[in-house]
A = this chain, B = another copy of it.
Amino acid sequence: MIDPSHHPIGVFDSGLGGLTVVKEIHKLLPNEQVVYFGDTARVPYGTKSRPTIIRYSREIVRILLKHKVKMVVVACNTASSLALETLKKEFDLPILGVIDPGARKAVRLTRNKKVGIIATSSTVKSGKYVLKIRQLDRDIDVISSACPLFVPLVEEGWFDNAITTQIARQYLSNMKKHNIDTLILGCTHYPLLKNVLHDVMGPRVQLVDSASEVAIQVKELLLKFRMLRTSLRPGQHLFIVSDEPKQFSQLASRFLGGGIKHVRRHIYV
């Protein structure tokens, strides 16, 4: 029998945001190797339709499989919302999305049972977070809000900007009215806006960034399937993007908080 434990973990996202998940995996499991795929030539996913997101996700899993990944983490909330079930049916390896971990964490944290979700239009429309939270605790009230300008604001680097605060105020006004005590950051870009979101929501509201929870579930899955990497050498990661690697490397340090080596380009044929 082939031992897959030394194989890498596949992680993909529409662009850079999923690197926040890579960062947490690396922190919790420093010996693991990650192959990351960022679909920078077709980013963003959040405004696109379900059939398109499924097609893109399927293509990417096939690419990751060529790199012999032992499991796949769908680090993109939109792809997790719209494509995860299809991917699980079509591919025979453990596949983990980010909705379930985020929902679990929020359910654990809320005290007044009022949870807010901010995400892309497609994620909100899918209703997957609401469904998951209600499955876990049907007494929880869930308020969702699509925030299409947050991703471009992050990409513009306007993290602590007065305009970003105003936009956040507008998007979150409904959440505030409903007196939520827990807010799920349902898009991997949003953790970079944490300061602004804290300012707007106030100190009583806890922000749920699913990245750390995803890393925990990755570890649980690898333990369950006896696939934890036992090598004592730290993992080497590989980053693949569908657009120019140069632009990716420059922006990626914002998410990963450090230099990125080994970036390759994949061209769809």
Contacts and interface: CB of A to CB of B under 8 A. Distances in A.
A155 B47 contact: yes
Nearest to A41: B52
A59 to B, nearest CB: 10
Number of copies: 2
Interface stretch (A126-134, A162-170, A225-233, A255-263): A162-170
A247 interface: yes
A150 to B, nearest CB: 9
Contacts of A152: 148-149, 151-152
A166 B149 CA distance: 15
A123 to B, nearest CB: 15
A41 B155 CA distance: 20
A203 to B, nearest CB: 25
A156 interface: yes
A88 interface: no
Contacts of A244: 49, 51-52
A42 interface: yes
Nearest to A147: B156
Contact of A156 (B48, B52, B148, B243): B148
Contacts of A43: 47
Contacts of A49: 243-244, 247
Contacts of A148: 152, 155-156
Given A149-B149, A166-B166, A48 B52 contact: no
Interface string A241-256: 0111001000000000
Contacts of A48: 40-41, 243
A182 to B, nearest CB: 26
Nearest to A157: B148
A153 interface: yes
Contacts of A247: 49
B52 A243 contact: yes
Interface of A: 40-43, 47-49, 51-52, 55, 148-149, 151-153, 155-156, 163, 166-167, 170, 242-244, 247, 267
18 contacts: A41-B48, A41-B52, A42-B42, A47-B155, A48-B243, A49-B243, A49-B244, A52-B242, A52-B243, A55-B267, A148-B152, A148-B155, A148-B156, A149-B149, A149-B152, A151-B152, A163-B163, A163-B167
